[in-house]
Amino acid sequence: MNTDPNRFSSQRLNEIALMQESSLPLAEAALLLAIEIGEDTSIQPYLDKINSLAEDFSRYRRSTPEITCAKAMISFFYKETGFAGNRSNYYDPANSYLNKVIDNRVGIPISLAILQMSIGAELDIPVEGIGFPGHFLVRYKEDGGSLIDPFFGRELSTHDCKTLLQQISGGRLELDNTHLRVATKREILVRLIDNLKSIFWRKKEWKQCQRCIENQIMLSPKKSQFELQLAAIFEMRGDQLEAENKYKEIIADQDFNQDIRSLAIKRLLSFSQRPTVIH
């Protein structure tokens, strides 16, 4: 019997990575990623907590039939249950670990969105993740497409979305339909990891970065940018041989676009141009 939780999490994530979109268990995958990237926790107790939240919301929804599902969720999730965006420590890695979000009742937009989507999935309520630039959103389909900002717990109008995008982009972007596109579960998981990777990269925690990138490669159909980042991590960790081998793999892979392969060539050439150090 395999009792190694890390080995189990890797095996299970590999199974999930091969699943069809409709059957991919988003909450379980997010919890497994937390274990893979650094958390020491168990999966089932948190799946049970999500189920309990769903049961509580179902009762709350029945007690408030006069309001929309989106408004009911805002009231339940943020007021009754006490979830909130972590404004005081936004870049804490715990905000991206679903187990910590459930325990601490704080998170970032995408982790709070995953939790709302998971509650919806338990109750057959169609809640969609929206890959808005720089600030993940959720949409409640049964309300005619009500958009919620999961960080601040408020409904958004089209005007609100325009203003938010202007603020995020520094006025460079104008709202169009592509900014409100529904994100697949794999895209959500890859973006969740991206937040952690950015935190670890700034801290130069290369081992953690490597774990993040390896999981992005496993989950994403568009692997080339992550393969290039993995080679860069090998460089950062001082493993030139691994970096060289990875750059060579990228250059030889015709499925990668030319820009990615060109960057790999430049990095590989830089090794041959470095001065030899005589000890």
The per-residue pLDDT for range 265-275, each reduced to its tens digit, is 999 998 876 55
Structure-token match 């430049």, residue found:
266
Shared-domain flag, residues 13 and 118: yes
What's this model's pTM, rounded to 2 decimal places?
0.92
- Structure tokens, 151: 């960080």
Band (pLDDT 50/70/90 cuts) for residue 277 is: very low
Shared-domain flag, residues 174 and 246: no
206 lies in some domain? no
CA 79 – CA 181 distance, rounded (Å) = 28
201 lies in some domain? no
- Alpha carbons within 13 angstroms on the beta-carbon side of residue 266 total 8
Note the helical H segments in 75-136: 98-104, 109-122
241 lies in some domain? yes
Number of domains the chain is built from: 2
200 lies in some domain? no
Band (pLDDT 50/70/90 cuts) for residue 2 is: very low
Shared-domain flag, residues 128 and 69: yes
11 lies in some domain? yes
Query: Which structural domain range is residue 239 located in?
Result: 222-272
Shared-domain flag, residues 122 and 237: no
Shared-domain flag, residues 150 and 249: no
Shared-domain flag, residues 176 and 226: no
Give the residue-averaged pLDDT of 71-98. 97
261 lies in some domain? yes
194 lies in some domain? no
